[in-house]
Copies of this chain bind each other. A is one copy, B any other.
Amino acid sequence: MTSRENRCVILNARPVGVPGPEFFDVVSRPIPAVGDGEFLVRNLYLSVDPAMRGWVNDAPNYSPPVPVGDVMRAIAVGEVIESRHPDYMEGDRVCGTFGWQHYAVSDGDNVMRKLGPDEAQPSLALGVLGLNGLTAYFGLLDTCNPQAGETVVVSTAAGAVGSCVGQIAKIKGCRTVGIAGGPDKVAMCLDQFGYDVAIDYQNTTDLGAELSAACPDRVNVYFDNTCGPISDAVFERLALHARITVCGTASLQEWEPIPMGPRVHRQLLVARARMTGFLVHDYKDRIGEAVTQLTAWIDSGDLVSREHVLEGIDQAPGAIQMLYRGENTGKLIIRLD
């Protein structure tokens, strides 16, 4: 047991929309005692994910909102430093919902997976070998079943999820079209993530025309992380029997009241297309399968990922806003000292 205190990030009020740093306080709390059937994790890296906006807002979502006054919910990867749990030993590395804090006590329920001894870079468990990679893997392959030769369009194409989606689609023999914001991200799409075409939605006068040029046979698969005008342009170009994964709605600033947009019903009907809301938590029983495959693709060089590392927990309160502003250049994580 360590004598250090537990620095943690507390939600101090209920935000609407993307929470800025003013909604969080960094405070010190005692490290909780480890009870029977529990273990203590020292976090090494904390994750910053788009989903965190949903976790703090009091709108219908897939999990109840983080209570005001609680440690901010977050995925983290860390090392077990004390254990009274039969399945976890001191020295085990684990990834789970341990929160934005240095130390977390767990009974195992919030563990996503234990890292293997060969995983040299534990931070990957927050990205390409974590929620991002799993989201890309199942959200693309299971929900959209892309076929060789099909055109796959990805929004937030250079992001932590999008970049994996594009590369997995490429591995499957698809033509990949990425939509990203700004010349740097477009360059990343082309140079690092192997997209056949990358469109800079921030610097185009006609996104629709660029999409049409990039997708002469229309869009077979659309992996949607944004909703909003980007999504609207893609929906006008669906191929017959198109499949759409709704993975995120990054472009919508607020959900209450529900934002208006073009009705997609007719577009889905005419194309006999399928639009599916996706959440990776529904696939927790198949994590092993995906990690094995993703690791093989990383080892073969077919799947690359980038990290954007912030130093220290004091960076956490501003990190969600940074993500929604698109200021990160890779999977956004916080390294703890």
Contact = CB atoms under 8 A, between A and B. Distances in A.
B274 A276 contact: yes
Contacts of A279: 269, 272
B259 A262 contact: yes
A266 B272 contact: no
A90 to B, nearest CB: 37
Contacts of A246: 265, 268-269
Interface string A245-282: 01111001001001111111111111111111111001
B227 A272 contact: no
Question: Quick one: copies of this chain in the complex?
Answer: 2
Using C-beta atoms within 8 Å of the partner chain, give the interface range for chain A: 35 or more
A227 B265 contact: yes
B272 A249 contact: no
A224 interface: yes
Contacts of A260: 260-263
Residue from the set A62, A255, A268, A269 with the largest chain B CB neighbour count within 10 Å: A269
A278 B270 CA distance: 8
A295 to B, nearest CB: 26
Given A249-B269, A271-B277, A272-B277, 19 more contacts: A60-B270, A61-B270, A227-B265, A248-B269, A249-B263, A249-B266, A255-B266, A258-B262, A258-B267, A260-B261, A260-B263, A261-B262, A264-B264, A264-B275, A265-B277, A268-B275, A268-B276, A273-B276, A274-B276
Interface of A: 60-62, 224, 227, 231, 246-249, 252, 255, 258-279, 282
